Structure 1
Amino acid sequence: MATTWGRTADGGTWELAVRPPASGLRGQVLEYRGYRMDLRHPRRRLEVPTAVMTMVFGFDGPIRLVDAVTPGVAASYSSLVAGMRRTGTVGEHNGRLHGIAVSMTPRAAYGVFGPALGDLTNQWVDLADALGPGTAGRLREQLFEAPGWEARARLLDGFLLGRLADSRPWAPAVEWVWRELNLNAGQVGVQEMADEVGWSRRRLEMLFREQVGLPPKSCARILRLQRALREYRDAPDRDGAQVALRSGYFDQAHLSREFRATLGCTPSQFLAHRASEIGAEPTDRLTGEVTTAVLPNSDRELAR
């Protein structure tokens, strides 16, 4: 695994190990990300909704998850599965964190979890509830006792190849609609796609909830938001009106409303958090995507 280390300005340390999956998993499992943090202060991170499912095996310390828009929705986990969510998540920990995360496509997640994937809609779930306590406990113990990140990645390769070997495939219509949504960054009508596959809109939404985790319209919103974040990243001088137009929003006001409804803050507030020097450790949780902003510890809620 490609491993990097660093030290924060106040003397904290971090380690990050990233590896792609085995060749038989490529295109379904995106990457493994091992991490070890020993920071001097608690850390709060705003996580953006993405079209990715995450399975986390924690070895040291729980993480508290809070809905970015509805702070009353909160829970703490050591190991968990995070389904696709309509709203962002604020992750909080005390500065010590150790574990490994698996990022996978919804298609792979359906293979791993089966129809139970629908129960993960807009939720976080304890890993034992998602995989079963025996399977989750044994795998976590094996990963913890493995001699290093590469050995852990090989264990995950074997586990996931086994789970996916006899898994249920997506319905062909779900496969086609998901591809269209991604090819068009969410800028395609749900009814238009339903007509193309010969399904009613209601039937398509029901299958998407079961096999993807969210209905097509919610998936399209996530993909448009990710497109906007890439636009901001790749062309920092581009104004909000241009970003909105290129990302499929009616205008800049529409883009700003979507940020507030999804992340609880405006685009400028989110970008200001990303530009701050609060943390020196790597920020984004998925290579090539804009997923995270580090928040000040003094802010108990996002700016409204």
Structure 2
Amino acid sequence: MTVLLIVFEEKLRLTRTADLSDPVEANASTPLLCGPHTSARTGEHDGRLSGVEVAFAPWAAFTLFGTALQPLANEAVGLHELLSTRADDLTDALASAVGWRDRFALLDTVLWEWARRGPEHSARVAWAWQELARKAGAVPIPALARRAGWSQRQMEKRFREQIGLTPKTTARVFRLQRALQLLVSGLSSAEVAVLAGYHDQAHFGHECKAMTGHAPCRFLARRAAGGQDPSFTDRFEGQATGVLLPATARAEGAA
């Protein structure tokens, strides 16, 4: 997914798990657009946070924001850098709106207008992305390209532009999402590896560590600990998208 973050009064600090020394910050004057990513980020705030988060399929973000997605892969950039005054106008209007109903209505109106004016995405890219999502990445990429009516090289070029990741990397992300769902459902790592299509348990463990910052057992432990906090919830329904870290665990990474 590609995510738009607009924080009204407080601050949200985002850092890559692999590089905690390189943070970006979302605040009232700096909304962020976060591209599709293959590694974890840690989000920190002071305990209270108000704002808007909107998740888009990457190909929809390509149209909405009128920019190639490849430079945004694994990055979070200021929306002003992409949209200039349009970003400032949206942020100011949302912050000054009377209530959440008005904010959501305003956001719908603005995004529809941006989509209408933006570059048209490829229907074949959208179909291929949805097919990878539907099958949790278990689709041979050459066969997917043939079904889309492209060579593999053509599809990779379009994916880099309108998804931000290659088809193979996109498949990795969807496969891990499926694997984590199976893991939190109570299956063992060995069972997950088989059902999600990994070579073996070690392969699953390596992918989980690389993309979430945690080995499978540590990921489960962190989720169990975070589940005791009533404020913890996954960002996307039906997905095991993260863990809640105590302040002292910042250096250990997060999903």
* TM exceeding 0.5: yes
Q: Which of 63, 68, 77 pairs up with 1:125?
A: 77
Q: Which residue of 2 aligns with 1:145?
A: 96
Q: How far apart, in 2, do the equivalents of 1:151 and 1:121 lie?
A: 32
Q: Which residue pairs with 1:69 in the alignment? A: 18
Task: Report what 1:55 is aligned to.
Answer: 4
1:157-216 superposed Cα distances (whole Å, 9 cap, x missing partner): 100111112333322331332122112110112222223334332322121111111111
Aligned-partner residue type, residue 59 of structure 2: R
Specify whether residues 157 and 178 from structure 1 end up closer, same or farther in structure 2 by C-alpha distance, changes over 3 A only.
same
Is the CA contact (8 Å cut-off) linking 2:137 and 2:170 kept in structure 1? yes
1:126 maps to amino acid: G
Work out whether 1:291 is the aligned partner of 2:233: no
> Greater share of strand residues, 1 or 2?
1
Structure 1 position 77, deviation (Å): 2.5
Distance in 2 between residues matched to 1:252 and 1:185, nearest whole Å:
18
**Among residues 101, 114, 117, which one is paired with 2:53 in the alignment?**
101
Identify unmatched segments of 5+ residues in structure 2.
Answer: none
Select which of 104, 120, 128 maps to 1:169.
120
The one-letter amino acid paired with 1:229 is L
Match of 2:168 in 1: 217
Residue number in structure 2 paired with 1:80: 32
Shift of 1:113: 1.2
SS of residue matched to 2:222: helix
Q: Which amino acid aligns with 1:201?
A: Q
Give CA deviations for 1:123-153 in whole Å, capped at 9, x if unaligned.
1011211322x11111111111111111100
The answer to whether structure 1 residue 114 and structure 2 residue 66 are counterparts is yes
CA deviation digits over 1:264-285, x for unaligned, max 9?
2101111111111563313212
Contact 1:228/1:244 (CA < 8 Å) preserved in 2? Answer: yes
TM-score by length of 2: 0.91
Give the unaligned 5+ runs of structure 1: 1-51
| Ranges of 4+ aligned residues in structure 1 off by more than 4 Å | none
The two structures have a TM-score, normalised by structure 1, of: 0.77
Answer yes or no: is the 8 Å Cα contact 1:209–1:215 preserved in 2. yes
Kindly indicate which of the two structures has a greater share of residues assigned to helix: 2
How big is the shift at 1:118? 3.0
Distance 1:221 1:73 in 2: 25
Post-superposition offset of 1:115: 3.0
RMSD: 1.9
Distance between the aligned counterparts of 1:72 and 1:205, measured in 2? 32
CA contact (8 A) 2:16 2:22 kept: yes
Match of 2:232 in 1: 282
How many angstroms does 1:84 deviate by? 0.3
